[in-house]
Every structure is written in C-alpha cells, then in structure tokens.
Amino acid sequence: MTVLHPLDAGLMEVKAAPSGLRFPPVGWRITLPWGFGYALQNGNGLRVLIDCSQKEDDRWWVHVSVSRATRTPTHEDMALVKRDFIGDRYAYSIWPPTDKYVNIHAHCLHLWAMVDAADGKILPEFSEFLPVVGRSI
C-alpha cells in the first residue's frame, strides 16, 4: 500500500516540492492510521508514529516518535528512521525544561523536522572541522 507521506502532506501545505521519499519506506509496514499520520513497524521491532501538523509557531513540522518494546532505540535506529522518514533535511531531538517533559513510553525518542524551510534548518551549524578528528559536532 502506498499512501501520501506525512512530510509531503506538509510540503503541499507550504507549496513546496514533494520530498521524493517513498511511503511507506521499504521494509516498513503501516499498522494503522494515527491522527493525521500513521503507525508503522519494521521487521526488527522498531516502531514509528509519524505525523505532520502546523504548530504554535505557524510552521509545519514532521514529528516522528521512535520506539522499541523493551529498550530505547539506538543511534543506528534513529539514523535509519531519520533517513527513511525525513530524508536529507535537518532533524532535531528536543529536550524541554523539566516542567514540560512528557514520558508516555519509557523506550521512546522523537525527531522533529521543520517543513517550511527547504532543508529544515532552523539552528546554526554546530559541526566544525577539528584538526585531528575531522568533522565533528
């Protein structure tokens, strides 16, 4: 089943070109519609909830919740989800102040990507070139 990628739904809202990302990505299956998005799972137990909506800043954002049943997703899990669902645009993980923190699932992490900018970049470039190390963040 091929359906409209939630990122592409947001891009349509801001009159931007489609992402070119396949939805669902190869190796993922939609398990159910979820609000204005979808719940998906891949073959190794990684689960995703993805949606796109306009937030209080009046910008469109893709939100991807990433979880596993019994452990927190790894860096490799997050990199896979970022590639498959957000593509080659900036994505951010948010750590709010303690009084705004929500933890509904003990093994869930989140990615956010702004749709309104072509590359999703909203923060300064934090990476730099270090003499012995090379590019680092």
Query: Tens-of-pLDDT digits for all 137 residues of the chain?
Result: 568 999 999 999 999 999 999 999 999 999 999 888 999 999 999 999 999 999 999 999 999 999 999 999 999 999 999 999 999 999 999 988 888 878 888 899 999 999 999 899 998 888 777 778 777 76
Give the integer Cα–Cα distance in Å for 133 and 85. Answer: 30
Other C-beta atoms within 10 Å of 75: how many? 7
- Give the per-residue pLDDT at 2: 63
Any idea what DSSP says for residue 28? E
Helix, strand, or coil (residue 54): strand
pTM of the model: 0.89
> Phi and psi at residue 80, in whole multiples of 5°?
-60, -50
Alpha helices in 1-137, H assignment, sequence order? 6-13, 75-81
- Give the per-residue pLDDT at 96: 85
Instruction: Please choose, from the candidates 115, 120, 122, 86, the residue with its C-alpha nearest in 3D space to the C-alpha of residue 12.
Output: 115
Helix, strand, or coil (residue 59): coil
Domain boundaries, the chain: 6-136
